[in-house]
A = this chain, B = another copy of it.
């Protein structure tokens, strides 16, 4: 998918919501546990109930790996279901991978080619040759960790390195890499005050923003400082939507929670761009 197609989808749906499919078997409705592939059945119901309210889905690979081979089967069925039924959706493999060059190529093939996600998240610690293999894929996107939403972000990411915070050095350095136009960045919503500074470094890039809802981020604040003329934001919510209920009505309740966020997003878009 091109960035332009993503932007058009945002305009069409009046939403820049990404729903995190972080499926934990201990949290899903018990009636689904009898199904042959509980995780996929859960995802399918959530997707069918919310696809018109969001522009992206983001399965976090940890939750699937924790279920072993069965989990990988569920992940594959989920991405295949999305690609077949909702090809307009921007899909994100939240895998946070990164290794030496030839090994990163293997990860890139796994997620962008074989599973056929539109994008994958990567970690920056190993530098240029650990990320560039992901950037080679045309019409695919690499979403690099910059400033994350967890407490540990302050351990290294905000430390000062050559006069500026490490996460800024990471962003600036990545702009010099080959095919860097295929980069997006993870920026946590719990630190909305940082968005203005980040926008000075990367005014045009899309930012994937976790931390709204369960992690305490504020949508209005993030949009005020982080939005650009192409919107430029994908706001993720996981638990607040997919675990809105653990009864028979889980998909219906997920729809209601997603609708609330979509409506808040629509109001922001109307006030800012007269959508």
Contact = CB atoms under 8 A, between A and B. Distances in A.
Interface of A: 22, 24, 60, 62-63, 65-66, 68-69, 72-73, 76, 96-101, 103-104, 106-107, 109-110, 114-115, 123-131, 145, 148-157, 159-162, 166, 169-170, 173
A266 B105 CA distance: 36
Contacts of A161: 156, 159-161, 166
A166 B156 contact: yes
A21 B242 CA distance: 38
A73 B230 CA distance: 43
A60 B62 CA distance: 16
9 contacts: A62-B99, A65-B106, A69-B73, A100-B148, A125-B125, A126-B157, A128-B151, A128-B155, A155-B173
- The count of identical subunits is 2
B110 A66 contact: yes
A127 to B, nearest CB: 2
B151 A127 contact: yes
B156 A170 contact: yes
B62 A97 contact: yes
Contacts of A104: 62
A99 B60 CA distance: 10
A152 B98 CA distance: 11
Given A123-B125, A161-B161, A100 B156 contact: no
Given A69-B76, A127-B153, 20 more contacts: A62-B97, A62-B107, A62-B110, A63-B106, A65-B106, A65-B107, A65-B110, A68-B72, A68-B76, A96-B98, A100-B149, A100-B150, A101-B150, A123-B125, A124-B125, A124-B155, A126-B153, A130-B152, A156-B170, A161-B166
A175 B254 CA distance: 42
